[in-house]
């Protein structure tokens, strides 16, 4: 299981990179649901959610005879990753980097956040399989995508929703 979690860190990082510029390459309502529509901190949470969702689907094919709650685990770890990214990156971006992009710092924080979330996921995977919990988690993934889509088109008036150049 540890090996699966380590692979997950790299897979989610790669999937995030693939999703990051999808909206810029093919702007549409569909891509706005799964990809950041701008460079705000909030929109990058959508990228995290999409990467974890894609990894969940891929994992279900790679490990078809699962005896653990992969959907639930990936839903919770995606929330943890978003929280960790927002908790670490937001103050670093606003107060240390003075709202200037710094790619190495961004990638480092993002990688650390994914790794910490996967550590949490490692312990969640030890829970007994619960089919009902898996179905509820699918619904929660969908609800979160709806919320993110709504907030893409109607952002709140907070700094994390704004793009600074």
- The DSSP annotation for 125-148 comes to TTSPP-HHHHHHHHHHHHHHHHHH
Q: What is the mean pLDDT of residues 25-31?
A: 93
What integer pLDDT is reported at residue 106 of this predicted model? 82
Q: Give residue-wise pLDDT tens across range 104-148.
A: 888 888 899 999 999 999 899 888 888 999 999 999 999 999 999
pLDDT at 136: 96
Q: Which pLDDT score, from 0 to 100, does residue 143 have?
A: 97
Sign of CA dihedral 6, 144, 95, 15: positive
Show Cβ contacts of residue 97 under 8 Å, excluding neighbours closer than 6 positions.
Answer: 105
Could you tell me the pLDDT band of residue 165, with boundaries at 50, 70 and 90? low
The alpha carbon dihedral of 48, 54, 59, 65 has a sign of: positive
- Number of domains the chain is built from: 1
Candidates 51, 18, 28; CA nearest to 152 is 28
Domain span at 145: 2-161
Please, what is the average pLDDT of the chain? 88
């Amino acid at each position: 299981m540890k090996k699966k979690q380590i692979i997950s860190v790299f897979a989610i990082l790669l999937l995030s990179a693939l999703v990051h510029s999808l909206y810029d390459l093919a702007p549409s309502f569909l891509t706005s649901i799964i990809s950041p529509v701008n460079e705000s901190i909030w929109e990058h949470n959508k990228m995290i959610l999409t990467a974890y969702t894609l990894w969940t689907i891929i994992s279900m094919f790679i490990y078809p005879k699962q005896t653990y709650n992969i959907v639930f685990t990936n839903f919770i770890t995606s929330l943890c990753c978003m929280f960790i990214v927002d908790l670490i990156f937001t103050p670093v971006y606003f107060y240390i980097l003075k709202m200037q992009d710094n790619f190495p710092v961004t990638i480092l924080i993002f990688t650390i956040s994914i790794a910490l979330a996967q550590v949490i996921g490692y312990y969640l995977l030890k829970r007994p399989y619960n089919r009902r919990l898996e179905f509820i988690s699918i619904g929660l993934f969908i609800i979160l995508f709806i919320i993110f889509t709504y907030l893409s088109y109607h952002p709140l008036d907070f700094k994390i929703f704004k793009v600074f150049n």
